[in-house]
Amino acid sequence: MQDAGVVIVGSGQGGFQVAASLRDDNYAGPITLIGEEPGLPYQRPPLSKSFLSSKAQPGQIELRPAAFYADKNIKVIASQRVTTIDRATRRVTLASGASLPYRHLVLATGARARMPAIPGAKLRGIVALRTLTDAKVLLAQMQPGRRVVIVGAGFIGLEVAVIARDKELDVRVLEFTDRALKRAVSATSGDFLASALTQRGAKFSVNTGATGYTGSGGRVTGVITSQGESVMADLVVIGIGVEPNVDLARNTGLQVQDGIVVNERLITSDPLISAIGDCARFPASYSDSSLRLESVQNAVDQARCVAARIAGKDEPYAKVPWFWSDQGVNRLQIAGVAQADDCAVLRGDIATAKFSVFRFRAGRLTAVESINSAGDHMASRKLLANPACISPEQAADTSVKLAALAVAL
Ligand SMILES: Cc1cc2nc3c(=O)[nH]c(=O)nc-3n(C[C@H](O)[C@H](O)[C@H](O)COP(=O)(O)OP(=O)(O)OC[C@H]3O[C@@H](n4cnc5c(N)ncnc54)[C@H](O)[C@@H]3O)c2cc1C
């Protein structure tokens, strides 16, 4: 019987990487990559960086040119949503009505932007930033002098805010919690980046959410805040996080819990289906509870792990997570995963805009946030492989060479 091969649902960062890594690992069977977005697989990070600042064109953010897929015999089906999975017959159905068989199925369905369901939410001019289409819409509206309200001081909100200031928009950021990047980094790093933004002329309101929008002629004209203020806006950017795309998995009876639940080999509750990237919830040796991470590193390394297993090299997923965010002149790099109450130890001088914050839990290193300190970040990725190897005192002492500690491991 003909090999039904590997079918990958979702042609984003992770889906693309499964296909590419399968060929790197000498997998010779059929590979089909199905994505609901138009065009070839592309990178999302530039959407809130070089693309939005008009320094990159759509073609420049594609992961590979069309010839790559032809050379590698990878079938790409674009602009097609997978609507159902029939696990009994091992087939997926597309929105077009076509269906195709699989030997192994990989779900790399990513996540979608969360949008507040508040009065006025359907007005034009309220945008999220998840896809290239979103980015094109946003870019077209970022005209100098316009007033943009950014709801949410997470990574995407802050990156957009910096570029909007560079483009001479009037920028107001609303953050529901008491500080920027509260979910992701220490107060030291979050406050530094928020302060850099206000120095660039953005206004920043904490403990302030959006409770509704005002509009005229179907277009947004303002945001009503939880403080009772009405903030004028020509454009509203929503950056309040994402929801994993799990409907397909849930509807076919796979275990789902804020993400598609997988084991340490990234296999779902069906041994013929794997899940990776933003949509997957996996057990991590360095965390008490399972995790769902949203980063390029996570999607790429999980893709490589699944591809290697399908190609015959079965190993559990065990990579140190890392992430970056570019905000104007400042680059934040994070290695590891901290919990909100992990203690924070400063290394370096905040005033120089070059420092790191080491996070510890019960004396063990959990994460390192580095601002404009690539050397600290690279060493930290090695240190995190053995979290007991550095003490808070050593972390704070800049005469202790991190690279030397890492090499000694
Ligand atoms: C603006 C922006 C900036 C970012 N910046 C950074 C950064 O600086 N650093 C970093 O590490 N990470 C960054 N990220 C996060 C990173 O891009 C994601 O973590 C990564 O893309 C996840 O890859 P993925 O394959 O899991 O999902 P995605 O890349 O989102 O791909 C999932 C794809 O599946 C498709 N899909 C979903 N359901 C179906 C279906 N039923 N049928 C067919 N197709 C389907 C989706 O449309 C999508 O195209 C950023 C993300 C955004 C949006």
- Closest ligand 1 atom, residue 326 Cα: 8
My answer on whether 231 and 121 are in the same domain is yes
Q: Are residues 236 and 248 in the same domain?
A: no
Do residue 139 and residue 171 come from a single domain?
yes
Q: Which atom of ligand 1 is nearest to the CA of 113?
A: 53
The alpha carbon of 361 and the centre of ligand 1 are apart by a number of angstroms equal to 30
Q: Does residue 315 form part of some domain?
A: no
- The domain total for the chain is 3
Identify the H or E element spanning 375. helix 374-383
Nearest CA to ligand 1 atom 45: 10
Q: Are residues 306 and 339 in the same domain?
A: no
Distance 279 CA to ligand 1 centre (A): 9
Q: How far is the CA of 346 from the centre of ligand 1 (A)?
A: 32
**345 and 292 within one domain:** no
Q: Domain end: 215, 240, 265, which one?
A: 240
Does residue 228 sit in the same domain as residue 204? yes
Of 208, 240, 272, the residue that ends a domain is 240
- Give the torsion sign (CA, 271, 274, 279, 284): positive
Q: Which residues line ligand 1 (CB under 6 A)?
A: 9-15, 34-37, 44-45, 47-48, 81-82, 108-111, 129-130, 156, 245, 248, 277-279, 294-297, 299, 323-325
Cα separation, 349 vs 329, whole angstroms? 17
Are 21 and 161 within one domain?
no
Q: Are residues 164 and 207 in the same domain?
A: yes
Give, for ligand 1, the residue of 79, 295, 300 to mutate: max count of ligand atoms closer than 8 Å to Cβ.
295
Question: First and final CA of the chain: distance in angstroms?
Answer: 50
Same domain, 63 and 146: no
> Phi-psi bin for 277: left (phi > 0), alpha (psi -120 to 50), beta?
left
Task: Give me the sheet containing 219-225, strands edge to edge.
Answer: 210-216, 219-225, 230-232
**End position of a domain, from candidates 222, 240, 258:** 240
Predicted local confidence at residue 409, as pLDDT: 60
Domain that holds residue 202: 115-240
Residues 107 and 253 in one domain: yes
In a domain, 317, yes or no: no
Q: Based on the fold, state whether residues 219 and 151 are members of the same structural domain.
A: yes
The CATH number covering residue 69 comes to 3.50.50.60
pTM over 0.85: yes
Structure tokens at 276: 């990776």
Q: For each successive 10 residues of the chain (409 residues), what is the average pLDDT?
A: 90 98 98 98 98 92 98 98 98 98 98 97 97 97 98 98 98 97 96 97 97 98 97 98 98 98 98 98 91 98 98 94 97 96 97 98 95 97 88 96 79
Q: How far is the CA of 262 from the centre of ligand 1 (A)?
A: 18
Domain presence at residue 1: no
Supply the DSSP symbol for 291: B
**Best residue for ligand 1 mutational test, from 296, 297, 298 (most atoms within 8 Å of Cβ):** 296
d(CA 121, CA 345): 41
